[in-house]
Amino acid sequence: MEVLVIITTESNKKNALRVAKLLIQNKLAACVSIKQIFSIYGWDDDIEEIKEFEITIKSKPEFKDDLIDFIHKFSSYDVPQIIYKKYDSEIKYFDWLNKII
């Protein structure tokens, strides 16, 4: 009863909402959570400090490659954050996720 969780980021709320809605509409995710974060990271020999929107995608493990391709296609970043892991899930949530997508 494994579910896939992918974490990515977007540069603004409008982009984050667009990505989330497209994931749901295209049946690539059962649920997408968005929260505003503050990130500090290295880029082009500089230190960036920016507000971003973290997107947490809950899906099926077999959709991993399609989700990675989707993020690369729709991300506003040259190098999007794509972090993923499979998690064990409680049976009712697992059943719900599998009914949705």
**Domain CATH for 65:** 3.30.70.120
Render pLDDT for 44-73 as a digit per residue (tens, 0 to 9): 999 999 999 999 999 999 999 999 999 999
Q: What is the pTM of this model?
A: 0.94
Q: Are 18 and 46 in contact (CB under 8 A)?
A: no
Residue 2 φ/ψ, nearest 5 degrees: -95, 145
Look over the chain and give the mean of its residue pLDDT values, rounded to a whole number: 97
Q: Are 97 and 30 in contact (CB under 8 A)?
A: yes
Domain with 33 in it: 2-100
Count of domains in the chain?
1
Render pLDDT for 4-14 as a digit per residue (tens, 0 to 9): 999 999 999 99
Render pLDDT for 75-100 as a digit per residue (tens, 0 to 9): 999 999 999 999 999 999 999 999 99
Q: Are 87 and 5 in contact (CB under 8 A)?
A: yes
Instruction: Kindly list the distances between the CA atom of residue 82 and the CA atoms of 45, 90, 95, in Å, as whole numbers in the listed order.
Output: 21, 24, 25
For residue 89, give the DSSP letter: -
